[in-house]
Structure 1
Amino acid sequence: MNTINTNTVRYLSLFFTIVTLSFVSMCQAQDITIPLWKEGIPNQRKTSEKEIATKTDILRIGNVQKPTLACYFPPDSINTHKAIIICPGGAYKILAYNLEGTTIAKWFQERGIAAFVLKYRLPTSNSLVIPHKAPLQDLQKAVRLVRHKAGDWQISENNVGVMGFSAGGHLVSTLGVHYNEETYQPRRLEDSLSARPDFMALLYPVITMNASYAHKGSINNLLGDSPPQTLLDYYSNEQHINSQTPPTFLVHATDDRGVPVENTLAFYQKLKIASVPAEMHVYQEGGHGFGIAPNNEQLHTWIDLLYNWILNLDNK
């Protein structure tokens, strides 16, 4: 009787161990959304302001109060151990959250790249103390957090890239040239890690704040109606490229009337001068805000080109 009980206990123990391990493995593969800041959000005061989400043709999110990171992990069988953090655009006023965020993340997830959608704070919010600093604070934190969790999430910490659309592209390029800036007081272990991305992808990005082809809406939302020249210079990202700027992939359409293609051309030219690895694709037609362009066979090719570029990067 004791033998039967002992064997039963052993079998039950083994059974529950297998179930537990399976559950843990399943949880690791699930998509999750986590808060970006766990010990108080820097550069923010308490107000009655509420986040706004409006769903029409796309999901638009405004007045972000609690930045988050939506995580999309690939199955183990196709995991490339690469990661990309995605910043939706919206002229620094809203986030085109599904068009330039979750839709893109799921595409990469299905192809073995861990993808993260950053819901970053927008400088039009009244909750911010110094509005223009908040987006960069959030993106720096996101890169550091993904690097910190790289082991748990089966990601190589040397293969963490960032990707941005329109104003999100401006935010990403801002990180690419100002990753060493101390934008917030370190509080957690991850804050000691580098915020430099291993690569960048810029989709029809806002780049400059100075030239005639600058996007006025993004300037006004980020810096206000009459910003000082020092801030215009600081956020004119083509002016700050050097040899340490991350490798960059750029996409734009020639007929973009929202954010002129000259933004991308200027950034690419400065990357070339600095000998930074870069690849640029300029389409004849596409306009602005085309996202993944699923119904346009020619324009849709950009994401496959980007995917192959990422896979061939050497960031060992």
Structure 2
Amino acid sequence: MMMDRRTLLASSLLAGAAPWRAEGMMASPPATPSDDLPDAPEVISLWPGGTGPGRLHPITQEIVERSKDPALPDRAIHGISHPRMVVFRPKQPNGAAVLITPGGGYVRVVIDREGYEMARWLAARGFTCFVLFYRLPGEGWASGPDTALIDAQRAIRIIRHRAGQYGIDPARVASMGFSAGGHLCADLSSRFDAAVYAPIDAADALPARPFCSAPVYPVISMTPPLAHAGSRREMLGDHPSAAQEAAHSPDRNIPANPPPHFLLHAEDDPAVPVGNTLALRDALKAKGARVECHLFEQGGHGFGLRNAAGKPVAIWPQLWLNWAQTAGLVKPA
């Protein structure tokens, strides 16, 4: 069910004012300084008690530095049992928020290139940004391939529940994701109404549909030959059924009311074929969705901001910003 901005704002204010009660549980914890994520100014836990629901066995978090240049960190994290959002607040908020889901092939979550760097760029332009460190489906969770989607739905709802705290319009919460995080972004934008977890507090009464969505060089299809083999394996195992592939390919699950989409891919991407973005575009168009699609001759995979420098694809963030203004995410000055 869609909600207009006035209804959503009222629901958010009511949810924030009403205490949530459940035996043995508490409302989602407040934002706190990070004790385990580097350079994190502010962190919001997604789940009461910190640990995500449905853990089957203990896992150990590890942060790996992949860069040889100290001035350009390229960290990635895996073993996430405490899903959370790192918050980047702008000096002059424009009232809009962006949930960022970095990539990593569903075996890790990239911290810098597709997380903090993008958040800083957006915050400098007025957006309140939330970088999501989501649980990985192959690391032993009872929810299996829906694990990351559960965290993404919960994240959108918490952002809306705390809209007043961050000075944002609860209706204007966008989603942006990269590579496997682009799959999560697209999955959220197609299955925002899917009942993938049981509600636990007032935040879960709010909708999880993004205002608009930007899957960037995204993994989309779970069916070969378009499928990214590593992401498919982490999501579905070595021998998924055709039904499982269909259930977790966002282009095959577009709802009647998809949010507007901004799509971006380089045609020389050696990891995720550009056909993934084209399949999503065609599926969205078939449902009458508003779509802007940019294809670049060169760029490779995982270019984010830093690896786009000096190439025509470097213009992509400004293209997104221009589009976001026309889509209504950014209000006229």
Q: Smaller-chain TM-score range?
A: 0.7 to 0.9
Shift of 1:311: 2.3
Identity %: 35
Q: Which residue, out of 244, 258, 264, partners 1:245?
A: 258
The 1-side partners of 2:226 and 2:195 are apart by: 30
State how many pairs are aligned: 285
Q: Is the 8 A contact 1:43 1:134 kept in 2?
A: no
How far does residue 41 in structure 1 lie from its aligned partner after superposition?
Answer: 4.3
2:50 and 2:83 in contact (8 A); partners too: no
Comparing 59-68 with 294-303, which one deviates more in the overlay?
A: 294-303
Q: Which residue of 1 aligns with 2:90?
A: 74
Q: Secondary structure at the match of 1:81?
A: coil
Report 1:43-62 matches (<5 A): 43-45=53-55, 47-57=57-67, 58-62=74-78
Instruction: Give the residue type in structure 2 aligned to 1:95.
Output: V
Q: Which residue is 1:140 aligned to?
A: 153
Whether 1:110 aligns to 2:110 is no
The secondary structure found in structure 1 opposite 2:169 is coil
Matched, 1:123 2:137: yes
Cα shift readout 1:47-89 (whole Å, capped 9, x = no counterpart): 44211100122101111110010011111xx321011000011
1:185 and 1:40, CA in 2 relative to 1: closer, same or farther beyond 3 A? farther
Kept in 1: contact 2:59–2:80 (CA 8 A): no
Question: Distance in 2 between the 1:48 and 1:220 partners?
Answer: 21
Larger Rg: 1
Residue ranges of structure 1 left out of the alignment (5+ in a row):
1-26
1:127-180 Cα distance to aligned partner (Å, 9 max, x none): x12321210000000000000011111011111011110111111111111111
Q: Secondary structure at the match of 1:304?
A: helix
Q: Indicate yes or no: 2:241 matched with 1:225.
A: no
Judge conservation of contact 1:31–1:73 (CA < 8 Å) in 2: no
Checking the alignment, whether the CA contact within 8 Å between 1:88 and 1:95 is kept in structure 2 is yes
Residue by residue over 1:17-47, the C-alpha shift from the partner in whole angstroms, topping out at 9 and shown as x without a partner, is xxxxxxxxxx9xx941121112564542364
Contact 2:52 2:82 in 1 (8 A): no
> Match for residue 6 of structure 1?
none
- Is residue 268 from structure 1 mapped to residue 281 from structure 2 by the alignment? yes
Give the structure 1 partner of residue 214 of structure 2. 201
Query: Once superposed, which parts of structure 1, at least 4 consecutive aligned residues long, lie more than 3 Å away?
Result: 39-43
SS of the aligned residue for 1:217 comes to helix
Q: Indicate the SS of the match to 1:312.
A: helix
Match of 1:286 among 288, 292, 299: 299
TM-score by length of structure 2 reads: 0.82
Contact 1:63/1:124 (<8 A) preserved: no
Native 8 Å contact 1:173 1:200 kept in 2 = yes
Assess, with a 3 A threshold, how the Cα gap between structure 1 residues 39 and 136 changes in structure 2: closer, same or farther: same
How far, CA to CA, are the matches of 1:172 and 1:69 in structure 2? 15
Measured against aligned partners, the alpha-carbon deviations of 1:201-236 in whole angstroms (never above 9, x if no partner) come to: 011001111242211111001111111222111111
> Does the 8 Å CA contact 1:42/1:184 hold for their aligned counterparts?
no
Within a 5 Å distance, the mapping from 1:144-155 to structure 2 comes to: 144-155=157-168
Say what the alpha-carbon RMSD is for the aligned residues.
1.8
